[in-house]
Chains A and B, each alone.
Chain A
């Protein structure tokens, strides 16, 4: 047995080892994919069906003789044009954006300073106060919508989108305070100490030094203020009934149904038109959302 033989034997064994690892990897991949396929189908199918419905002409939609999950007449934009020409959909979009904007402004004005105070200033009882504010997130709208209806009608904002601007911060402020407080804990304290030594007041140090490095956290808070307001249905249903004042979710769910007649094409078109962008935005920030609600311990 020559040295060359030994070497080539070893090479062959090594190659067999690599192959074994490769087949094992392949098998593992196949198993995992096989397990995930039902989940993917279940998650995606209703959304796919919405999308098909939104682009199908009405005749095609109600034809029982054909395979429903594909087009048998050419796809159409008629449901979208109907939305914009014959309903308040344009106003609903505007209302949704206006509500999101003002809710974000109110939320940031309250949550950023509160989050900073809880995270940094070593206030006695800060932890309990933080929990107290977060409790607001856990007291659901269901417990509050009846008493709040009195508050809203006293404020003369009832029936308009401004009622929602008033009440939505009740769940965005607690969440965003919690989020910002977690974020400020990650900002190194040295940078504001340096600013304080340089003669800045605490407020100036916060505004000029801490906030500029916290843009990412603030942006995240804005995204969540927006996506959380999109999740509401109850408050909108109870406080807003004028058609052109509704946000998109409420408008689509109430104005596109006449008695027993559902305008499915336009319903799905209107729902998807905002649903998909919100879903995409949300899934980008999903990890931060989870980290935000489960606290810093779960990263």
Chain B
């Protein structure tokens, strides 16, 4: 009824009360989500800031303020520094391979060919399988005795001898990176495909009319359009990669000799398994400065795209 009156012109005061009513309705709809997120994401985040400057441990509920001691101790610890280095190496190298393979596969998959749907559902399998299951499957693929990778590799003469993939530092790092790439490249490809199919055909056609050959077209028309999409995919993937623990934990548990230790596994060992909550929180928070620019860039790119 109220809205009918609104149309026919109502006193200003009345209209304002309707406006306020709508706002109240809106905020009460938002409340459950906002409260849940504030209590279980916002508050814990600030709580972890507090933990990181305290000497809290699992057995000791009353914590003392210790200033930046945890951070100092953490940065002096060589296994932390190794974990930090590994995290960066792992994320960057895996990211490059995912971008390359993902782009290549996206270009093949956007072609109009028979059986496209079936092929697509097969090649995205690595991404759609739950990651824990992926990690277990690869643990078996890299088994020291029955490695399927070695069995195939030696027979097609790609691999010599019988390498113990998860047992030697360099190989272990290569293995966890390979598994992360295996899991992540279909995601990059699918994000790119979604973006490419949104490119209006007219743009490509007009470039053709203007006499641009394939490479010029590729360079001036397609790259500028898909580069931001690839960026979005990669940034998302970086967040997923930085926060994923299951591949490293289930394949190597950070070993051998800490060669695949990353910040998440280190935080788990120190904060939970050794019970030093404060120090563990400090280790997790070391991820924050890495994560912050990624998230900022991601939100900015998404926002700009939406404005277009």
Contacts and interface: CB of A to CB of B under 8 A. Distances in A.
B284 A146 contact: yes
Interface string B119-151: 101111110111111111111110101101001
Nearest to B241: A140
A129 interface: yes
Contact of B285 (A143, A274, A294): A143
Contacts of B33: 110-111, 113-114, 133, 173, 177
Interface string A283-297: 100110011011111
Nearest to B132: A249
Contacts of A242: none
Interface stretch (A7-15, A79-87, A115-123, A214-222): A115-123
Given A43-B123, A123-B26, A234-B246, A297 B308 contact: yes
A46 B137 contact: yes
Nearest to B250: A253
A6 interface: no
A250 B113 contact: no
A268 B129 CA distance: 13
B140 A267 contact: yes
Contact of A32 (B108, B182, B232): B108
B140 A279 contact: no
Contact of A298 (B32, B41, B43, B194): B194
A50 B40 contact: no
B256 to A, nearest CB: 14
Contacts of B287: 140, 142-143
Size range of the chain B interface in the assembly:
35 or more
B190 to A, nearest CB: 6
B22 A234 contact: no
A124 B26 CA distance: 10
Size range of the chain A interface in the assembly:
35 or more
B136 A252 contact: yes
A69 B141 CA distance: 12
Contact of B40 (A114, A133, A151, A227): A151
Contact of B51 (A116, A146, A193, A264): A146
A298 B298 contact: no
B23 interface: yes
A211 interface: no
A283 to B, nearest CB: 5
Interface string B240-280: 00110110011000000000000110011001100001001
B163 to A, nearest CB: 16
Given A61-B146, A143-B48, A294 B302 contact: yes
Given A32-B113, A143-B287, A295 B123 contact: no
B119 A149 contact: no
A143 B282 CA distance: 10
B125 A142 contact: no
B88 interface: no
Interface in A134-182: 134-136, 138-151, 166-167, 169-170, 173-174, 177
Given A39-B105, A43-B126, A150-B47, A202 B267 contact: no
A279 to B, nearest CB: 4
A65 interface: no
B30 A114 contact: yes
Contact of A121 (B22, B143, B197, B288): B22
A40 B123 contact: yes
Nearest to B283: A146
A264 to B, nearest CB: 6
A133 B236 CA distance: 16
B221 interface: no
A253 B136 contact: yes
A133 B34 CA distance: 7
Interface string B28-59: 01101110110011011101100100000000
Contacts of A61: 146
B227 interface: no
Contact of A199 (B1, B25, B198): B1
Contact of B137 (A50, A230, A298): A50
Given A142-B245, A143-B288, A50 B128 contact: no
Closest A-B pairs by Cβ, 10 of them: A140-B243, A114-B33, A249-B132, A121-B26, A233-B246, A113-B29, A147-B44, A282-B128, A117-B29, A297-B305
Given A143-B284, A146-B284, 12 more contacts: A49-B141, A109-B32, A121-B29, A131-B299, A143-B285, A145-B272, A170-B41, A237-B245, A274-B130, A274-B133, A286-B190, A287-B194
25 contacts: A36-B123, A61-B146, A64-B146, A113-B30, A117-B26, A121-B29, A129-B30, A140-B239, A140-B291, A142-B284, A144-B44, A145-B268, A146-B280, A149-B272, A150-B277, A151-B44, A173-B36, A193-B3, A231-B130, A233-B132, A233-B135, A253-B132, A253-B250, A262-B139, A267-B140
